[in-house]
Amino acid sequence: MIITSTLVLTIIWSILPSSSDEHTPQQFISTILDIFPQRRWIITLESIMLMGMLCTYTGLLMYNEDSLTPPLDSLCTVTDAGGQLVIEDDTDVLVKRWAFKETSGIYDLPLMDACQLLYLYDNEDLSR
């Protein structure tokens, strides 16, 4: 409500005539113009608000990118807090039980093991 009334007052302020006219009473216009500051303040205030919005949005973007984004080597970028990692000491057991089967959404395969299975080893040797 405050923003709407401010907008309406700004529009009225900008369209009021600065000189007297025969159709409008001089006393009313001079009283209204005495209440408000000079008209050049419209441009000044709007420019200050626009630059403030620009600085705020730029600052929020930089804060989000620098402070809230986790580093790329963090486990948070791959899985969430509810994920359960499958940890097997023996690679053969990991391959036979988990690597080529669905995890049913309950367990997450460790990222390094999945990358090793996909890119480091030859898949024909592991599927036996």
Q: Global pTM?
A: 0.39
- pLDDT-derived band at 114 (thresholds 50, 70, 90) equals confident
How many CB atoms neighbour CB 99 within 10 A? 21
Give the mean model confidence (pLDDT) for residues 68-89: 74
**What is the C-alpha radius of gyration for the chain, rounded to an integer number of angstroms?**
33
- Quick one: tokens of 32? 């209204």
**Domain ranges (residues) in the chain:** 2-68, 75-126
Q: Which range in 11-20, 50-59, 98-107 is most confidently predicted, on average pLDDT?
A: 50-59
Share of the chain above pLDDT 70, in %: 68
Start-to-end C-alpha separation, the chain: 71
Strand partners, 99: none
Mean pLDDT of the chain: 75
